[in-house]
Amino acid sequence: MFKVTNESIEKHRTEALVVGLYEENKELQTIYQQLNDKLNGELDELVQSGDISNHNNSVSKVHTFSLIEAKRIYFIGLGKRDERTVHTVRKAFGKVFKQLSQDRIGQASIQLDSVITGEGQADYVEAIAESMAMAPHQLQTYHTERDEKSIELTNINYLTEQSAGVVEAANTGYALGNGANIARHLVNLPGNLLTASDLATFAENIAAKHNIEIEVFDQAKIEEYGMGALLAVNQGSEEPPRFIVMKYQGKEKWEDPVAFVGKGITFDTGGYSLKPKDGIIGMKMDMGGAASVIGAMDAIGHIKPNENVMALIPATDNMISHTAYKPDDVIVSMSGKTIEVRNTDAEGRLAMADAVTYARQNGAVKIVDVATLTGGVVVALGDQVTGAMTNNDDWLNEIKHASQQVDEPVWQLPYLDVYQKQVRKSHIADLNNSPGRKAHAVMAGCFVGAFAEDTPWVHLDIAGTAMADSEHDLGPKGPTGVMARTLAKAMMNVK
């Protein structure tokens, strides 16, 4: 998929040559000058006329008329060199990869030295490969007639004088981006085509691909483990629940695993606390946390970090029937803690409570959960930043560092005792699952945190960031696959 060569640009044969162009004196950009000379000064004319732009995120296409071996040159505007970051380059290349896909070009060459040379080059290559996977990604639809206007970009040749580590970095970046795409695909599937059983089958296929150990608990085994909170959510459904356990072993021995917990509510009606007609649309995305965890495990399977990782997914839908759980019910969780149900639409935290308990009881030294948990976090932070909570600042800092590396920002919400006490207020049980609307996102996180107890734990509420309202530089409108890359990157950072 990825190759590296130091072949000269005028002799390199390719259908599309991608060249970075900065907002600075073009005479100082050697590669631009080489191309301009070979094209008889025509590039200068195109720059002056505005047909070639060096402004950030611009893409300009030039036909070479056989004056060099490349058929076309795609100039990608990178803005001011001193303002360049990995993130600006990732987004800029997202735009050019979309254009290449729309132009039905499956193979291209990147003049890497026009983008960056020297220290840090591998980080930029990784980011470029992430955007190669993510930006042109197309979501599956079910139209009987589809006009395929674009194709998948499958091969990239990097032209550079410094080849060390380039292919490895590109493979890593592509694995991260493809992990996000897997999460996008799962979130995009309609609820009737992605039941808990279907989700488990998908996870089994990912595990088989990478030789990752997996066990899927059926309803009988879930009952055997006493996962009363997950079972309560499932009570109203005709679809049986599943509890998915994936184990990636990156160390010599299976010990001290990090646990990823992903909310796997494949469709959420709200139960008897029924969602309104406008609010129920789109609730196929309520398994976005599970999707991100599975996507992260696929990336980890490719990258093979030196860490033991346990992925846990409580999977069910939340439906209404004569058997469904109700407000005022009292249920017994796997931990033994009893829970007063005040809101059946606060179901994700119930299912995750049992998964977090399973993680603790099975040796997890750190836990991170990912969930489309609350509308409250959308009100607080919008759709660009993920809400985070923790009982351990060091563990949160590891997750935040990884999120910064892949440009999936998080913002810490308070995990204070005054809030923790409110989820423990019930006249009839140990906990209540919905203290009210005030500090809604915080209350939900505090409820999950009660089951983490003293194990280092980070909670990531992706209700706002799991979906994009419009097309963007790194993908289409719809599921974003957010946090799949962050989770995998966090495991890569372990030394």
Q: Is 288 helix (H, G, I), strand (E, B) or coil?
A: helix
Active-site choice (349, 400, 485, 489): 349
The reply to whether 83 sits in an annotated binding site is no
Q: Please, are residues 244 and 289 in contact by the beta-carbon 8 Å criterion?
A: no
The reply to whether 278 sits in an annotated binding site is no
The residue among 100, 135, 98, 92 whose CA lies nearest residue 116 is 92
The residue among 244, 265, 271, 280 whose CA lies nearest residue 316 is 265
Q: Which two tokens stand for residue 181?
A: 């795409």
Q: Please, are residues 335 and 359 in contact by the beta-carbon 8 Å criterion?
A: no
* 447 Cβ contact list (under 8 Å, min separation 6): 346, 349, 353, 423, 431, 433
The reply to whether 393 sits in an annotated binding site is no
Rounded-to-integer distance, Cα 270 and Cα 280, Å: 8
Look up 349 and say whether it is catalytic: yes
Cα angle 164, 167, 168; round to 5: 90
Q: How many CB atoms lie within 10 A of CB 376?
A: 22
The reply to whether 268 sits in an annotated binding site is yes
* Concatenated DSSP letters of 351-417: HHHHHHHHHHHTT-SEEEEEE---HHHHHHHTTSSEEEEES-HHHHHHHHHHHHHTT--EEEPP--H
The reply to whether 263 sits in an annotated binding site is yes
Q: Which two tokens stand for residue 21?
A: 């162009």
Query: What proportions of the chain, in percent to the nearest 5, are helix, strand and coil?
Result: 40, 20, 40
Active-site choice (275, 326, 342, 424): 275
Rounded-to-integer distance, Cα 202 and Cα 198, Å: 6
Q: Which residues are annotated as a binding site for Mn(2+)?
A: 263, 268, 286, 345, 347
Q: What amino acid positions are annotated as catalytic residues?
A: 275, 349
Q: Which residues are annotated as a binding site?
A: 263, 268, 286, 345, 347
